[in-house]
């Protein structure tokens, strides 16, 4: 039985580890040829090697316009086109408004927000040549609410949510669908585990689904949105958060 992405070519940014790695593994298992893009060259190359002939690694600074242009040209030369983009690359910096420097703020914005914009813009032409495509933007639950101490991160993730809706409105007529995924507490290098952090343990205990999320939980949602199973879905947001945004439990409940 063919996989959900059989014959598709996918580009995953920030694909060397964490959620991006889980997405790459699942996409290859579902029949896609996957380009893993990151700045973590050793980890990305090792992952591509482990996935075999249907994966390759390319260096990409998502905030660099020339990097994007060169990578998309490379993918078209190697694979003949591009069908799926997952804008997964992102960084997290903690800090209140008063303590955050402009330099630190813009570093997060340039990767999380500008990187997403450049990614969308860069793949329009190659996807249009293929008759359409699917873009999945990884935002965050912090792109749906506000949290103290996350001014740069939340700002950038709200922007990802917004550009998703604008792009969906603009690009649907040429067959390109765009949706956003909003992970909550997912166990990655950026997130302390409940075993290591009392704050994290308290957070998990109040979730309707009281466990830390795994990268595979996000990857399965991304797979659905990248595949033809979601062919009539665009401009939507999908929390993957154990119920955090929509139905948190009160303390003691």
Q: What is the pLDDT of residue 203?
A: 78
Q: Does 68 fall in a domain? A: yes
112 pLDDT above the threshold of 90: yes
Q: What is the pLDDT of residue 210?
A: 86
Q: For residues 187 and 193, is the Cβ–Cβ distance under 8 A?
A: yes
Mean pLDDT value across the chain? 93
Q: Which two tokens stand for residue 7?
A: 């014959």
**Residue 153 is a catalytic residue:** yes
Question: What is the tally of structural domains in the chain?
Answer: 1
CATH number at residue 71: 3.40.50.720
Give tens-digit pLDDT for 2-54: 899 999 999 999 999 999 999 999 999 999 999 999 999 999 999 999 999 99
Could you tell me which residue, 146 or 201, shows the higher pLDDT?
Answer: 146
Q: Does 3 fall in a domain? A: no
Active-site annotation holder among 79, 105, 153, 244: 153
Give tens-digit pLDDT for 59-70: 999 999 999 999
Q: Does 114 fall in a domain? A: yes
Sign of CA dihedral 217, 187, 116, 240: positive
CA distances from 28 to 47, 88, 110, 179, 238 (A): 12, 16, 29, 21, 22
Q: What is the pLDDT of residue 189?
A: 74
Q: Which residues contact 87 (CB under 8 A, 6 or more apart)?
A: 13, 62, 115, 116, 119, 120, 135, 136, 137, 138, 160
CB burial of 185-219 (b: ≥16 within 10 Å; e: otherwise) equals: bbbbeebeebeeeeebeebbebbeeeebbebebbb
Give tens-digit pLDDT for 81-105: 999 999 999 999 999 999 999 999 9
Residues of the chain with pLDDT > 70: what percent? Answer: 93
DSSP code at position 113: I
DSSP code at position 234: -
Q: Does 122 fall in a domain? A: yes
Q: Quick one: pLDDT band at residue 195, thresholds 50, 70, 90?
A: low
193 pLDDT above the threshold of 60: no
Q: Does 4 fall in a domain? A: no
CB burial of 42-61 (b: ≥16 within 10 Å; e: otherwise) equals: ebbbebbeebeeebbbbebb
What's the half-sphere exposure (Cβ side, CA atoms, 13 Å) at 85? 31
- Domain extent, residue 105, equals 9-240
Please give the Cα distance from 118 to 121 (Å, whole number). 5
Please give the Cα distance from 238 to 217 (Å, whole number). 12
State the pTM of this model: 0.93
Q: Which two tokens stand for residue 190?
A: 């950026």
Q: Does 245 fall in a domain? A: no
Q: Does 168 fall in a domain? A: yes
Q: Does 204 fall in a domain? A: yes
Q: Quick one: pLDDT band at residue 80, thresholds 50, 70, 90?
A: very high
What average pLDDT score do residues 125-133 get? 98
């Amino acid at each position: 039985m063919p996989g959900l992405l059989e014959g598709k070519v996918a580009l995953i940014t920030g694909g060397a580890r964490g959620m991006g790695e889980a997405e790459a593994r699942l996409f290859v298992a579902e029949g896609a040829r996957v380009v893993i893009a990151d700045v973590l060259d050793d980890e990305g190359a090792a992952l591509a090697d482990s996935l075999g002939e249907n994966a390759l690694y390319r260096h990409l600074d998502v905030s660099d316009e020339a990097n994007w242009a060169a990578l998309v040209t490379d993918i078209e030369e190697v694979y003949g086109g591009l069908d799926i983009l997952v804008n997964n690359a992102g960084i997290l910096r903690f800090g209140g408004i008063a303590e955050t420097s402009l330099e630190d703020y813009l570093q997060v914005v340039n990767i999380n927000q500008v990187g997403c914009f450049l990614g969308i813009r860069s793949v329009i032409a190659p996807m249009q040549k293929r008759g359409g495509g699917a873009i999945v933007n990884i935002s965050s639950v912090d792109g749906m609410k506000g949290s103290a101490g996350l001014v740069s991160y939340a700002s950038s993730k709200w922007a990802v949510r917004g550009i998703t809706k604008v792009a969906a409105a603009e690009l649907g007529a040429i067959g390109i669908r765009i949706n956003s995924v909003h992970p909550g507490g997912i166990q990655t290098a950026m997130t302390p585990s409940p075993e290591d952090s009392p704050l994290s343990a308290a957070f998990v205990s109040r979730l309707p689904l009281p466990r830390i999320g795994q990268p595979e939980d996000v990857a399965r949602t991304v797979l659905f949105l990248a595949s033809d199973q979601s062919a009539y879905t665009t401009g939507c947001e999908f929390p993957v958060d154990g119920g955090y945004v929509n139905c948190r439990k009160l303390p003691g409940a």
